[in-house]
Amino acid sequence: MGFLRERMGKILAFFIGLALLAFIVSEVVRSGGSFFRDDSNELAVVNGEKVPYDKFNAKLEQASQQFKQQGQSMSPQIQSYLQETTWNQYLSQLLLAKEIEKLGLIVGDDEMSVMIGDNNPDPQIARQFSDPQTGQFDRSRFDQFKAYIQSGKADPTQKQAWSDFVIDLIEAKKATKYMSMVTNGLYVNSLEATDDYEAKNKLVSFKYTMLDYASIPDAKVTLTDGDYSAYYDAHKAEFKNPQDTRNFEYVSFNAAPSKEDSVATKQQVEKIAGEFKASTNDSLFVQINAETKAPLVYQRKGGIDPKLDTTMFNAAKGFVYGPYLENGSYKVAKLIDTKTTFDSVKTKHILIDLASAGSDDKAKAKADSIKKLILGGKSFDELAKTFSADKGSAVKGGDIPAFDANGNMGGQGTLVPEYYNAAFKANKGDVIIAKSQFGYHIIKVEDQKGSVKLVKVGVVDKPLSASSKTQTVAYSNAQKFLGKLTSDNFEAEAKSEGLKPRTAEDVTAIASGLPGLDNARDVVRWAYKADVGDVTDKVFTVGDQYIVTRLTAIKPKGTLPLEAVKKQIEPAVRAAVKAKQLKEKFDSALSGGASIEAVAQKVGGKVTPVENIVFANPIIPGLSAEYKVIGSVFGSAPGKISKAVDGTQGVYVFVVNGFTNPPALTNVIKQKEQIAQAALQRSQGVLLDALKDNATVKDNRAKFF
């Protein structure tokens, strides 16, 4: 007993710990988890291989940054597009890598040396290090970059970016080898070439009579389960769903700005207009009051808002225009200043880059010394050829195209602001130094031409937004509607409220928007947690709309069951039932009809002649593409009345007048090459689609985005 009393605390701790462990284990087992498995970073599983979220997200961030660098805004639709595009690329690379690994394809050292060599590098490298003037690969620039990367002074981020770039080049080369192995197996024989030639050039003339499906009212057609099943079984391959999707219906309550909101915002901007007119520090006023912050710069005619362009160039300094409504905002603009400057400036320059100089101080000192040499009478052209890091202009003595006040070189590129601002402030003949992101520029102003008027305009904008009253009324109506709903009265309640439900069909798990709604991720996430018939338990806010939704269908990946596509195929099933009735009518007429004219008379139709139809373009003039009908025409003997053929628009009976065969194919090789080229262009996409179709992919992106 004494032994137990002394150790009772440890014994109790042991049993309590054991009980807690058992509880945790049972919870983990029940939920399908594991102590040693962390699925929080599992974006997807492809053929058993996990795809980590952070690795994919790094690729997505890179794609997003590249998009932003082009000056594009990142809307929800763009974000969704980039995500889907990046995912498809990532998945394709992953699947290709597995196939490449199976085949043992590699890129050897000699191949790698050629790809990043100096004489004939990979096209991606050639584009990055091309002369901006000639567009040709600049070997010296590439040599300088490689020397910089291999030096101890290189930025670690740049070194890593270069390493990643080289790895991507290697993977791309492997993929090219793999695709070449596949495409080298493509072959077109002479029979295929002849068939293709005839399909495009053999002509047929025929006449037909047709009974349109519209001739039977929909109300007189009763569709049975057997009708649906027959159509579904015959077209089952068309109902393969590549990924999970959802269908739901929703009603929206508009919380967009009302007329009263518009009046209130306009009055606010009218007050701002008075203050703007009296302002003595316009730049600060714009920064404080404008919703869209923009620096105040001089601009030439045609460079500002069309509403302001003519007005401001004819107005006096201090003139205020507005308020005016534009792109959902009330705006007021003030003419802050005007000036007249040169229309264009012609310069030469010598660039001293920081990498080759070794440091900023050394580059500056070198630029100063070269400037002294120029002022002392040394040839600018010769110094440019010797010292300038811009080899494209160096060979021309440093000469670059003339540019305007915004640095535009007439379609030959744009200069950095530091360069053109310095050049426009100088006088003709001056030699000046300006620093930019590329290094130090020794600039000689060769000429200044023309005269142009520039204006500096400040704009203050206030977005037109809904007031709290407008939002409250719309939200209250949405809540009231939601409170009345059950799983089966959505349409009835919407009708009683005078609301028209909208439908969203085949919505994917990563969709960002819905018809008419830009950013609806919360709605989509809800749909993937709900069951069929569920009504949302809250009102969703999407832009200036309040949304109430009901899930109507869940479509799993794979071949969809009949019930999932029943509504979708209803028009086609109805057409098939009508086709049976119309065929019976034609069969009765055909039994005693000696000519197509007699058949047409019996069914109440007319005979229409058709000339010069080719198999490759199966369109009946005045109607539509009728693949089955034209296929039957080309498979029929001339002069024989056909059986009834059901087409896209109706049921047809035809008789072939005759065929016109084209001249014999004289250049089989060229025809084969054309077909092979078309197959080659399709091959990569078809191959990747085949790999994706055969892959087992568990896509968890909806959990992360």
Pick the closest to residue 208 from 658, 599, 484, 556 (CA basis).
599
Kindly give the residue spans of alpha helices, DSSP state H, lying in 130-189.
139-150, 156-183
- pLDDT score at 35: 34
Q: Does domain 243-256+467-556 have CATH number 1.20.120?
A: no
Distance of alpha carbon 263 from alpha carbon 283, whole angstroms = 27
- pLDDT score at 36: 36
Count Cβ atoms below 10 Å from residue 75 Cβ, excluding itself: 13
Please, what's the b/e burial string for 399-411 (b: 16 or more CB within 10 A of its CB; e: otherwise)?
bbbbbbbbbbbee
Domain 344-449, CATH: 3.10.50.40
Show the tokens assigned to 192.
């295929």
- pLDDT score at 118: 64
Q: Which helix (H) or strand (E) holds 85?
A: helix 76-103
- pLDDT score at 9: 53
Distance of alpha carbon 78 from alpha carbon 97, whole angstroms = 28
Low-confidence ranges of the chain (pLDDT < 70): 1-39, 71, 118-119, 132-134
- pLDDT score at 132: 65
Helix 380-387, helix 360-375: angle, nearest 10: 160
- Residue 515 identity: P
Q: Which helix (H) or strand (E) holds 551?
A: strand 545-555
For domain 203-240+564-660, the CATH class is: alpha beta
On whether the CB atoms of residues 464 and 265 are closer than 8 A, the answer is yes
Strand locations in 418-473 (E): 431-436, 439-449, 452-463
Q: What one-character-per-residue DSSP string does 39-53 give? A: GGGEEEEETTEEEEH
Distance of alpha carbon 396 from alpha carbon 382, whole angstroms = 10
